[in-house]
Structure 1
């Protein structure tokens, strides 16, 4: 069985400038757990999941520090705090999306896709053509459904 045999073709996607509030409404209304983010040419550039939205509400962790000779030495990464601030202040898809998106092709085997999703701990994978234009999406539900509807 191939990706094209089990993928959902009517993909609900958003643009990078879609407000997070709108994405949350889509997830709730459509009862889905994530959406691909596409550019103007319908190429996949990211994914926003429920987890990304929930993480946005996480508190900012201020790094611990000590003072030595009237100087400040941070014990933890300031970069982590900067990322926390950026996430909490986010208001568009591009601010919270995962941009290291794994994709598959329509001709990829179901076994390959299932293994990829398990190994990488992902719940959905966009199906794209050679130009990364979205053709469909496969979620874990689609794989389970294909296993028991043969």
Structure 2
């Protein structure tokens, strides 16, 4: 599964010089956890996340503290004051499994998708979950269509819990092609190309 197959495009973004209140309204209103931050050329310059806002945009409430709270620095007013610069990014041709590793090892919930310096989309953990939520029957229909489009109707295809088995006789190259066709279908979790005489087939 590739990023371009599941990413949200165009991306919801905000400019670096935008008012922070407007950014918070976007985060809350659109129910997103982070906003890519762009310059006047739509080039990515940072990311504003919920964590960035929570760290800097809320002043302690003196009513909850037994001792006086020290005065903090002035509250930020623009996105550029608190955004994360040099954020993690990905590209449209990246393998989604590489993103999953990042998502599971860090607090990152979404990534800007860039083409060079330009923002073209966003991919999130939710996008991956939505892509995986497909019935086996729907996957089988799409797999049969994909194999037919490539003139590969001789392969026997089955699907169980998103795992695809492709059976048939073919050279090593033909088996690789069959596996690539199966992996191109959105929602496929794993592919096994099996020789007909294999007991597992």
Task: Report the TM-score range of the alignment, normalised by the length of the smaller protein.
Answer: 0.7 to 0.9
Partner of 2:161: none
After superposition, the C-alpha distances for 1:101-142 in whole angstroms (9 at most, x for unaligned) are: 01101000010111122223201100101x220111011111
Partner of 1:43: 43
- Take 1:95 and 1:28, find their aligned partners in 2: how far apart are those partners? 19
Give runs of aligned pairs for residues 18-33 of structure 1, distance below 5 A: 18-33=18-33
- Take 1:119 and 1:44, find their aligned partners in 2: how far apart are those partners? 24
Give runs of aligned pairs for residues 7-22 of structure 1, distance below 5 A: 7-22=7-22
Partner of 1:109: 95
CA displacement at 1:147 relative to structure 2: 1.9
Unpaired segments of 5 or more residues in structure 1?
60-83
Identify the match of residue 121 of structure 1 among 102, 107, 117: 107
Residues 46 and 100 in structure 1, CA contact (< 8 A), matched pair in contact too: yes
Q: RMSD between aligned alpha carbons?
A: 1.7
The two structures have a TM-score, normalised by structure 2, of: 0.58
The two structures have a TM-score, normalised by structure 1, of: 0.76
Count the aligned residue pairs: 124
- Take 1:102 and 1:132, find their aligned partners in 2: how far apart are those partners? 13
- Take 1:7 and 1:32, find their aligned partners in 2: how far apart are those partners? 14
Larger Rg: 2
Partner of 1:147: 132
CA displacement at 1:89 relative to structure 2: 2.6
Which moves more between the two structures, 11-20 or 115-124? 115-124
More relative contact order in 1 or in 2 (CA 8 Å, sep 6+)? 1
